[in-house]
Structure 1
Amino acid sequence: MEKLEVRRFDNNDAAIVSKIICRNFLEVNIRDYSKEDMKKLSEIYNPDKVKMVAGYAHMYVFCLDKKIIACGAISSFWGKEDESILLTIFVLPELQGKGVGRTIIETLENDKYFLRAKRIEIPASITARGFYKKLGYDYKDGVSKLDDEGHYRLEKFR
């Protein structure tokens, strides 16, 4: 794959990022979750919701030939200086498995929110759990059960 361009999210990116997220819910995550739940999430993750997340997190977009193909964000975890959380990590379905996700994680792990944190959490979907485990994230407190939102809580310590 050619070189990815990485840049910080701009509010003008919201519609495209929203589409990428919703395509993942409706084409990828739907294999592990109910159609109803994925439809609800895709209605929630409209451009305004994306802008809201970008308002409190450091959100990045990843581009090929100037076209946004992926996104990812990191934020302080509940305002803590020494804990952060990874959010909204999505890659166009047709480009998954080509190293883009790894580039997203590397980018987020070089962000100041990651570098200052002692602990980083990620709410992982059933679909993405194996990917994050490969990158060194493990079950929070050893608990390998889904939470009320249908995520595995994974964490990494620095």
Structure 2
Amino acid sequence: MKPQTRPATPADASAISQVIILALRQSNALDYPPDIIAQVESSFSTESIRTLLTRRQVFVATIDSRVVATASLDRDVVRSVFVDPGHQRAGLGRQLMATIESIAADAKIEVLRVPSSITAQAFYFKLGFRKVRDEFHGAERTIIMERRLPSL
């Protein structure tokens, strides 16, 4: 079945949490040590996701009604783009980013920013994002990237 993208609902919180934690443990763990993964993971419990749903525009990609990817927009900042490792490299992240960019364009946002993990830097680069700077939160390295959206 073809993946569907839609706004997330509170009923999706547990599934979103599971996708993020799985991606952190399998994909991001290749670039970050276990203590950093555990620290980041603690921010994505089901309850934390429910709170994020009230503060950000959160989207999910589903296959056969099962959440397999997520992304969110917090004003002009793209956040929490994660794809279940079993579905990575199938275009789901790109599909979610197209949704985010459409929402941002409708909101007249000129520049999208993203605090990228080391793991996702190449993904964002392929989408036209460019590195602005590195940020460190303790030992965790985040790459701040941005992309100017086309004028309508």
> When the two structures are superposed, what TM-score results if normalisation uses the length of structure 1?
0.87
1:127 — aligned with what? Answer: 119
The reply on whether 1:62 has 2:50 as its aligned counterpart is no
Q: Separation in 2 of the partners of 1:113 and 1:17?
A: 25
The reply on whether 1:98 has 2:86 as its aligned counterpart is no
**Counterpart selection for 2:143 from 133, 152, 155:** 152
Alpha-carbon shift at residue 151 of structure 1 (Å): 0.8
Q: More strand per residue: 1 or 2? A: 2
Deviations 1:17-76 (A, max 9, x none): 001101111111011001111012212210111122221111011100111111111121
> When the two structures are superposed, what TM-score results if normalisation uses the length of structure 2?
0.90
Opposite residue 98 of structure 2, the aligned amino acid is E
2:28 — aligned with what? Answer: 29
**Counterpart selection for 1:138 from 112, 130, 139:** 130
After TM superposition, the structure 1 stretch with the greater mean CA deviation from structure 2, 42-51 or 57-66, is: 42-51
Specify every segment of 5 or more residues in structure 1 that has no aligned partner in the other structure, as ranges. Answer: 77-83
Percent same amino acid at aligned positions? 22
Deviations 1:97-155 (A, max 9, x none): 11111101111111147641111100000000001000000012xx3xx3113210000
Alpha-carbon shift at residue 7 of structure 1 (Å): 1.2
CA contact (8 A) 1:74 1:113 kept: no
1:47 — aligned with what? Answer: 46
Specify every segment of 5 or more residues in structure 2 that has no aligned partner in the other structure, as ranges. Answer: none
1:81 — aligned with what? Answer: none
Secondary structure of the structure 2 residue equivalent to 1:127: coil
